[in-house]
Structure 1
Amino acid sequence: MPSHAPATAVRGTEFHDLPRAVRHWASLRGASPALTFVDYGTDRRGVATTLSYAELDRRASAVAAALAVHCRPGDRVALTAPQGLDYVVGFLGCLYARTVAVPLYAPEFFRSNDRLEAVLRDAEPSCVLTTLAGAQEVTTLTRATCGHATTVLCLDDPPAADGAAADTGPAAPGDIAYLQYTSGSTRTPRGVLIGNDNLAAAARQSAEQSGLTEQDVIVSWLPYFHDMGLITGIAMPLLAGARAVHLAPMAFVQQPHRWLRLISDYGGTWTAAPNFALDLCVRRITGDHMATLRLDTLHTLCNGSEQVRSDSVLAFAEKFAACGFALSGHAPGYGLAEATLGVTSALDGATIRTFDRAELADGRVRRCPPGAPQAWQLVGCGTPLPGVQVRIADQGAEQPADRVGEIWVSGPNVSPGYWRRPEETQRSFGAALLDRDGRPTAPVWLRTGDLGFLHEGELFVTGRIKDVVVIDGRNHYPSDIEVTVRSALDGMPVATTAAFPLIDEKGERLVVAVELRRAPGAVAPVTREEAVRSVRRAVGGRHGVEPYEVVFLRPGAMPRTSSGKVRRHACAERHRLGTLDYLETEWWTS
């Protein structure tokens, strides 16, 4: 695997907004491929369509010209198109027209529209961009949801005003480029304000950390409405003048080998995925597909968006070593929408360390042997991206290394706040931090709501503040407990787990929910009672707290965000109300 140390300056990343970068590459290397989308919806073998930089610029300009007829700079424009080239063109067209893009997903019959409706009501778009296939459904949804007239334009029905966009002038750095709606893992979706300067900074930071050049090929299946897919799949390669190769998220989930196949076919050098994608590849990619994969061109696999697990990292590296992938290619990272995605990323592969969980529960960091009774194996999330500062805080005061606290972030990528939520903006953004000498710093800090610590210069994340289970005065981290539960149920078809508190007049007690998946041919020769005993014995022995309840859920019953994260708070509330889809039978033994 080639070494790819970060470059001091990546060509093209000096631009302070994405439109100027795309137009630069269109004038300099117009015939070079910018984006390739491989569609598996019409042909299972995949049909590839490519836009050059010149074609991308021309089509985005045409969309901007159409938007200028219906919108003014600063108006919101919702994107409700399927994953594909049209979506990318529409997003760029919004930026060209200096409107505020609202990246969303297209309505689908198997997905609830509740979140989509909530975002449309909150954003109040003047225009909605979609495709001909979904125009009728989008129009109906928009009319029923928005309390004002909203124009619906089809991206695959080119407007008559094909050509240069209306001259709205260059975007100012502080102008809002788009609203990134959070996935709502702990509350209703909120629109994070992302300025043109935030967007360019985030793309530049990721490109520089990985040392990207025009020769790089970024392969991505991540959804565009999610910050990780938008920044790493679209903004980062376009800013650096590189090539991006995309497929739809559902195409990956249906056949995980397609992702790695495209890396092989196109000589992919950079890719990203949340942790569950590694597990899916290890579990479902068979020997026949393995024999055709070549991953030795891949210098970076960024792992983020959810807790990075050491067993997933090691299993992926072990399985695909024969295909040319090395453990040094893993780049675990940490980020959040409020920071326009990136905060930290690993430079030289995954760092795996073992810590004493009892000490972590008390806020202290102490290494211990992997086989120790209280051992908790964590994957480091790397060092801050260029221009980003990270501090660990407790009650507004900076903590030294090897102390657990809230992760605070500052940098040019940090959002100015939330759309129409001044109180929440005040709580989360622009906080003042007392440094270790007791001196106040400038009020530029974002309070992330995540817990973690700095060890040997690297960030380790332990969980969300609001997810921590406190029993008898001790902190217990759900992500740690959930790993123990999966290990205790090894051999059962476990899809995901959630650990959360049950709070009533008796105090706070631990509940564990286990969602099972249908695995053809897989037989778990255990009864429900045996499975519950295994979980209680493992969690009690390792964490010093025995679950009050262990419940099993049907496939797909676990509450999740739009990006697939488990919604622990929603799971706890539904369990309290008794509305979870519990599994009453033991079908997994038959």
Structure 2
Amino acid sequence: MDLFNRLEVYARQFPDKLAYGFVEKEGGLSETLSYATLLEAVRAASGQLADICQPRARVIILLPAEAAFIKVFLGSLHAGLIAVPCPIGYSEPAIQRILNIIKDCEASLIITNQKSLKMLSQRQTEASRTLRALDIQWFFTDELSNDASKQTAKQPSAPDETAYLQYTSGSTGHPKGVMVSHANLTANLNAINNCFGRTAADTSVTWLPHYHDMGLVDGLLSPVFTGGTGLIISPILFITKPLLLLETISRHQAAVCGGPGFGLDHCVARIKPEQLETLDLSSLRVLYVGAEPVRIASLEKFAETMQVTGFKRESLVPAYGLAEATLAVSLHLHGTPMLFRPISETNAKMVVACGPPVEFTNVTIVEPELNSIQKDGEIGEIWVCNEGVALGYWENLAATNTTFKAFTACGKGPFLRTGDLGFLFDGQLFITGRKKELIIIRGTNYYPQDIEEVVNACHEHIQPHGTAAFSIETEQGEELMIVSEVRNNAQNEDDTDKIKTNIANSVGLAFGLVPRKIVLAGIGKLPKTSSGKIQRLKAREVFNTN
């Protein structure tokens, strides 16, 4: 059954059950949707949107974490439209990214609310003026209605038709919209939830951005796909008050939660030991960790710190996935011990297994230049084949053929080329880095996250998860450059020199490398994706200017 078939069944089985609750800063629920109310709202939104747009029209959704988002997202799919969830930001680059996405998918409609429109317009920048002047229709969720007369039957959509576009992270002028079909979504939701053992009895909590693949597919859609309850905390609220996430899990005895590793570090750093003593996290069966290379130190520190709450170390689920595969590719089996291995015989750095591939998934490790299949334990590019692999990139045949239609030297395929490096060992997938971000100096490979981890720990004023390491081209060949965000940015030359010296010494001792250039930047200056990952290649463009 697809998402809508399930929603209709659940609305009949338990109409008054809580489908979604939106958590406010004091821990209460500011908005709630029962299954019956949700189904009614989706049908009503579908009717309103169908009156405005033709089937398969692309509709931009610019909304914060609120009930209106799930109503119009599901309403768009119900009406046979192609939903395009976008990060909503108010800076010049953020609005420019919205404009680039609108242009790329030739959107017919922007869905937002009056408050967001006001904030998008208030700075009167070139980008905001361009947005307001676009020849495009606007729909404001302030006008959403549950009027039964507006409800319509579901617009027929073939399983292989595009349900929504998931734009890959970045702010370039040529964004790529991943075309996720209805069948892709159903297949990946099945795979995720069969692995997690999620049922209608489970409550899930998410703080992830709902326009990001992990936040959308698992954070928002998995709970209603399984008939459970989803509690939503806005990303900004989590960042400012991480205790709220753990309090919500404790109060509602939630079973599933997840996010990037920096979320674990944020909880450990910001929550006081005496606050943990009031919590009960024993119900948390699955705490998945993905969206960036998983640091063993983050897993171990979180498990140790949260032990007092009843949290079980075996609940940690290292995960690997990407938008081009809808979401999940491999998931550690919860309730089993995590597995660690060194990267290679010559690199003793330990990495954690992200589990076996999810059901009906073929993961093959391929030498990226020769396209030959690597042996067990050998590092190569991760290639994926399953029903969750998306249709391709919107109106971008060349990129689609390169990324989604790869064949091995022996003719196996087609595969999705992930651009990520890793290896398989005893059926477990280990992630070692990103192919395009691999630093190669004097014939030796270095993974940027290894260098960044050393830099982060070398001085107290360096912002956690605020360092980018990458290679730059010089007359002597490839050399290392490091950019670090600094808290209470160095006020004088002595402070700057001390921090740079610490960075250089730490990197030299750990890797035998001498950074060619070290730049200290203010907090927030490093370019990041919508999910908070640092964009190393973009950082190189921004900071390596001479």
Q: Same fold (TM over 0.5)?
A: yes
Report 1:22-101 matches (<5 A). Answer: 22-40=7-25, 44=26, 46-101=28-83
Counterpart residue type for residue 414 of structure 2: V
Residue deviations 1:463-518 (CA, integer Å, cap 9, x gap): 11110111112211101111122233367554521111121332111111111234
Which of 174, 179, 182 aligns to 1:196? It is 182
Q: Distance in 1 between matches of 2:93 and 2:28?
A: 24
- 1:12 aligns with none
Instruction: Give the structure-2-normalised TM-score.
Output: 0.92
- 2:283 aligns with 297
Q: Within the alignment, does 1:419 sit opposite 2:394 as a pair? A: yes
Cα distance change on mapping 1:159 and 1:186 into 2, 3 Å: closer
8 Å Cα contact 1:77-1:101 kept in structure 2:
yes
* Corresponding residue SS for 2:457: helix
Measured after TM superposition, the shift of residue 567 of structure 1 is 1.0
8 Å Cα contact 1:350-1:379 kept in structure 2:
no
Residue deviations 1:217-261 (CA, integer Å, cap 9, x gap): 110011110000001112211111111011110000000001111
8 Å Cα contact 1:202-1:342 kept in structure 2:
yes
* Corresponding residue SS for 1:432: coil
Measured after TM superposition, the shift of residue 444 of structure 1 is 2.3
Report 1:402-481 matches (<5 A). Answer: 402-434=377-409, 439-441=410-412, 443-481=413-451
8 Å Cα contact 2:20-2:230 kept in structure 1:
yes
- 1:539 aligns with 507
Residue deviations 1:498-549 (CA, integer Å, cap 9, x gap): 1111213321111111112349xx99xx954444343333323332322222
State which drifts further: 27-36 or 331-340: 27-36
- 1:568 aligns with 536
Cα distance change on mapping 1:160 and 1:478 into 2, 3 Å: closer
Counterpart residue type for residue 377 of structure 1: M
State which drifts further: 103-112 or 205-214: 103-112
Which of 224, 228, 235 aligns to 2:210? It is 224
Q: Distance in 1 between matches of 2:185 and 2:177?
A: 15
Q: Distance in 1 between matches of 2:510 and 2:465?
A: 22
Report 1:347-362 matches (<5 A). Answer: 347-348=333-334, 349=336, 351-355=338-342
Measured after TM superposition, the shift of residue 160 of structure 1 is 7.8
Counterpart residue type for residue 300 of structure 1: V
Cα distance change on mapping 1:150 and 1:491 into 2, 3 Å: closer
Cα distance change on mapping 1:543 and 1:509 into 2, 3 Å: same
- 1:500 aligns with 470
Cα distance change on mapping 1:509 and 1:111 into 2, 3 Å: closer
Q: Distance in 1 between matches of 2:171 and 2:433?
A: 13
Q: Distance in 1 between matches of 2:386 and 2:424?
A: 18
Counterpart residue type for residue 242 of structure 1: G
Cα distance change on mapping 1:67 and 1:307 into 2, 3 Å: same
Measured after TM superposition, the shift of residue 334 of structure 1 is 0.5
* Corresponding residue SS for 2:142: coil
* Corresponding residue SS for 1:129: strand
Cα distance change on mapping 1:350 and 1:556 into 2, 3 Å: farther
- 1:324 aligns with 310
Residue deviations 1:189-229 (CA, integer Å, cap 9, x gap): 31000000011111111100101110011100111100000
Q: Within the alignment, does 1:382 sit opposite 2:355 as a pair? A: yes
* Corresponding residue SS for 1:539: helix
Cα distance change on mapping 1:406 and 1:143 into 2, 3 Å: same
- 1:582 aligns with none
State which drifts further: 260-269 or 488-497: 488-497
- 1:392 aligns with 365
Measured after TM superposition, the shift of residue 115 of structure 1 is 1.2
8 Å Cα contact 1:174-1:195 kept in structure 2:
yes
* Structure 1: unaligned runs, 5 residues or longer: 1-14, 368-373, 579-590
Identical-residue share of aligned pairs (%): 34
Residue deviations 1:67-124 (CA, integer Å, cap 9, x gap): 1111121111111111111101111101110100001133436973121121112122
8 Å Cα contact 1:501-1:509 kept in structure 2:
yes
8 Å Cα contact 2:19-2:224 kept in structure 1:
yes
8 Å Cα contact 2:260-2:292 kept in structure 1:
yes
Report 1:509-548 matches (<5 A). Answer: 509-518=479-488, 527-548=495-516
Measured after TM superposition, the shift of residue 456 of structure 1 is 2.6
State which drifts further: 136-145 or 111-120: 136-145
Measured after TM superposition, the shift of residue 431 of structure 1 is 1.5
Q: Distance in 2 between matches of 1:492 and 1:464?
A: 24
Q: Distance in 1 between matches of 2:447 and 2:19?
A: 43
Measured after TM superposition, the shift of residue 382 of structure 1 is 1.2
* Corresponding residue SS for 2:111: strand
Instruction: Give the structure-1-normalised TM-score.
Output: 0.86
* Corresponding residue SS for 1:213: coil
8 Å Cα contact 2:285-2:315 kept in structure 1:
yes
Counterpart residue type for residue 535 of structure 1: I
